Amino acid sequence: MRTIAVAVLLMLGVGVELLACLGVMVMTSAYDRLHFTAPATTIGPLAIAAAVIIEESLSTAGVKAILIAGLLLVVNPVLTHATARAGGIRTHGDFMTLEDKEARP
Amino acid sequence: MRRTAHWLAWWVALVVLWQLFVSTFAAPEVLAGLLAAAVSATAAEAVRGQNLVHFHPRARWFVQAYRLPGNVVRDCLVLGRVLWRRVVRREPIEGDFIALAFSPGGDDPQAAARRALYVAAISLTPNTFVVGIDRDNDVMLIHQLVPTDPTDARELLFPP
């Protein structure tokens, strides 16, 4: 039973990571691509961390898996916002208004 | 004295984090961790010392975070459908910018924490991220891959 749970969680985690990479590849604009970084830092790492904990319990590997999943969970929204903000400032100046949005390439 | 205490707090926390990651007490690893933590603690204290911004969040705001996992899973399914349409059906997909009513508050620590938590919580959900907050016009600019036509920023976190 434990083996099945670990296998399912690993397939879910790795599958989400692969689909997120595919999303980044096939979307056309930088803003659209940014959306696909979120599943890769939420569902994916949490599923993999859960698989590691079920297999190893709270060993060294388990603690590391929790730390990494937690770090990705906290940092990604900040990086996504900062990247989008930097893109907006680079393209449109200090703040992107709706008029600027209409002129977006 | 207070700056030293802050520096020490940062240093100890970072050394502990380093040790959790390396999982060894080999002398070179421990030494590297002590030095890296010192550099990072110095940088953190240099930024904190400038008093650029203070955060005083309310505890009850974090209680409301129980909604986030559901929002994340729901948006992952939305992105899955988008991927299907793009890859299998070859449909052109383009997200959109949306300006939402948002009361940003003032310069006090509580308002700063509220803005930061709103940005982080909304940007955590895969279908939406915050581009910026226009404090002069009480507007939050978001980008959504599949527009959901929210009426205001609060609705993104607490769907009706």
Sign of CA dihedral A5, A6, A9, A14: negative
pLDDT tens, position by position, B92-148? 989 999 888 888 888 889 999 999 999 999 999 999 999 998 888 888 999 999 988
Q: What is the pLDDT of residue A52?
A: 95
What burial class does residue A77 get, using C-beta atoms within 10 Å of its C-beta: 0-12 exposed, 13-18 middle, 19+ buried? buried
Contacts of B94 in chain A (CB under 8 A): 28-29, 32
Least CA distance to A65: which residue of chain B?
B21
* pLDDT tier at A103, thresholds 50, 70, 90: very low
Distance from CA of A100 to the nearest CA of B (A): 10
Distance from CA of A35 to the nearest CA of B (A): 5
C-alpha distances (whole Å) from A21 to each of A15, A27, A38, A60, B52 are: 10, 10, 11, 28, 36
**What residue has token string 């002590």?**
B34
pLDDT tens, position by position, B39-48? 999 999 999 8
Q: What is the ipTM of this complex?
A: 0.83
Contacts of B83 in chain A (CB under 8 A): 19, 22-23, 26
Contacts of B145 in chain A (CB under 8 A): 32, 35
Under 8 Å between Cβ of B132 and B102: no
B61 touching A, CB under 8 A?
no
Domain ranges of chain A: 2-102
Q: B49 or B26: whose pLDDT is higher?
A: B26
Least CA distance to B119: which residue of chain A?
A81
Q: What is the pLDDT of residue A44?
A: 94
Quick check: A101 pLDDT over 60? Answer: no
pLDDT tens, position by position, A53-93? 999 888 888 999 999 999 999 999 999 999 999 988 887 77
Under 8 Å between Cβ of B145 and B79: yes
Q: What is the pLDDT of residue B39?
A: 97
